[in-house]
Structure 1
């Protein structure tokens, strides 16, 4: 009997290991050097928070922002970012079994300085935001993960009131709605959150709506955008004003219900607020502040969607551009561009507070971090 139990235990462990998923951390950078590892992949130890080097790719310039396909097989990156008269979107195949990340192809981004790319839940479309020329582009994705020719590109010209930073449109992100039936485009230059309906079955999926944009406060500089898991609320981080605007959301329409400072009250200027994410349980919101304060602002979220600040956590580096939260909400990982370091924080699910764990990773000019369970 004892031998039978031992045999069954071994079979169970082998089966568990065969189908067990791992959390992979994808890092992009402003590498500016094709000989450098432009994208690095790490495996996240979900007990200790330790990051272990897994794969990397070279011969790519400035992959400033990354996203991973729903099935985890492909990585899409904004490449040739901050490169004059250039800008591209590139695809890579990720093979955990072979520990490899392989370049597939790239397409011109449809505008200079691509800064954000999002993938549709079907895995058949990507949408990217081009900052300098203020535009959005949509591309079909082929079955092999390669990016097909551009399907649509919309460019915008109007700016807003700040004569130094808002002389024209600067689209800073492209975010799908929870049902993936709308695409939202925070436009830092125009103080607008633009919106299109998205019909995945059409060759040109972006469709104009009765509410093509939502105006933000003047000189707000809307940057990144996040939806609550309950799909009733959305949140926009405003880079220039250092504020977070809270919206009720329904069928592509945003109605503002709150605006709250992302920075401590003592900070009156020099705002460079950056990224924004919500914990999977919907109880806490996190936002990064660069500039004078290099920290993560932490907010509790009430049932009515309103925010209450509960503290700040230093990112232990300078210029935290992008951060990510794993699917289980256990870890938050921040990337600091100017100090070139990546910090793993364990997240307290009850208090929302963060505590550094593991050893920091060094990557020159690290600009983006994404986490995917595969």
Structure 2
């Protein structure tokens, strides 16, 4: 009886895997509204090639994207890098009709929105405003539209770097694996802020019980990644070019170690950008812009510490953002200044990357991958 049962399970797994399509969503810095701003491509999960599905124009600087759990709705930071402006916008994606439709926008009450996260229930959208440093909270309606802002939390204090840290610069927002906290790196203040979050409240962010950890002065924490075991978290520090590893428990971060990214050149502003972990929890990846234009690869040890594996060229200029496919087979990096997207095949045993395809796209600042 065991063999037919196992065969049935294998067939079900095969059907689920191959009945889904893998889509790649690109955001960009596109101030010209007549130009395309958001692009959707389909990823060939065998060869790693990208085929265009649709795009949308008439939207200003959709610089960062967040995709709903089922892939039906796309949320974007819009009017980024626009003086006295800043908004978040929603779109509906229909893969059968290959269409992308604008739904609505809401003002962020903070200038230069740069990062968005949806909570695990899909009921809340949280936005990080970099220039007008603040966090904004929006409820999401059942039809995917963004309801008006319900919380707006500004920050002011800076740190020691006179060029980059005269004031606070909230750079990103992340939900903890249990959805009970928001983690927010502040590049300007050299802090990682932690806020309790309750998705059942009208104002879900608990400001009165927030806390933070200080990073090394002048380091500039930018993005954050949780390990699949939900116990460890990793912060990429943009200015210093370093990675800080933490344990995470009940809303508290405790430092495990801090390592500098290897470089043959000295720089006062290293330009590290994105940090992601493979779904098997074995490898951590970091992109570095500026003088490096590289992807640094680390093996994650049993105690949460990192061991350098390799540094590979991003094969372009200014790798602002990258994404790993749900299967872990591909890593796609957007080199914004050289206007090329590289699809790398990922070796699951070594973590190393091998180019399999390339796409020319202008001003790409964000990559997301979703199976639908």
Q: What's the offset of the Cα at 1:316?
A: 0.8
Match of 1:44 in 2: 43
Aligned 8 A contact 2:40 2:52 in 1: yes
Q: Unaligned stretches of 5+ in structure 2?
A: 1-10
The CA RMSD measured in Å over matched residues stands at 1.6
Match of 2:31 in 1: 32
Match of 2:342 in 1: 343
Q: What's the offset of the Cα at 1:225?
A: 0.4
Aligned 8 A contact 2:220 2:237 in 1: yes
Q: What's the offset of the Cα at 1:363?
A: 1.3
Aligned 8 A contact 1:249 1:255 in 2: yes
Match of 2:370 in 1: 372
Superposed CA deviations along residues 82-139 of structure 1, whole A, max 9, x for unmatched, are 0010010000001101101110000011200000000111111010100001100010
Q: What's the offset of the Cα at 1:341?
A: 0.9
Distance 1:166 1:30 in 2: 23
Distance 1:189 1:31 in 2: 25
Distance 1:103 1:128 in 2: 19
Aligned 8 A contact 1:197 1:209 in 2: no
| Equivalence map 1:95-174=2 (5 Å) | 95-174=94-173
Q: Unaligned stretches of 5+ in structure 1?
A: 1-11
Match of 1:300 in 2: 299
Distance 1:364 1:210 in 2: 43
| Equivalence map 1:1-374=2 (5 Å) | 16=15, 20-208=19-207, 210=209, 212-358=211-357, 360-374=358-372
Distance 1:313 1:321 in 2: 15
Distance 1:217 1:306 in 2: 18
Distance 2:240 2:277 in 1: 20
Normalising by structure 1, report the TM-score.
0.94
Distance 2:16 2:318 in 1: 39
Relative to structure 1, the CA distance from residue 41 to residue 155 in structure 2 (aligned partners, 3 Å threshold; closer, same or farther) is same
Distance 1:313 1:128 in 2: 32
Relative to structure 1, the CA distance from residue 125 to residue 371 in structure 2 (aligned partners, 3 Å threshold; closer, same or farther) is same
Count of aligned residue pairs for this structure pair? 361
Aligned 8 A contact 1:211 1:253 in 2: no
Q: What's the offset of the Cα at 1:263?
A: 3.7
Relative to structure 1, the CA distance from residue 17 to residue 325 in structure 2 (aligned partners, 3 Å threshold; closer, same or farther) is closer
Distance 2:179 2:16 in 1: 33
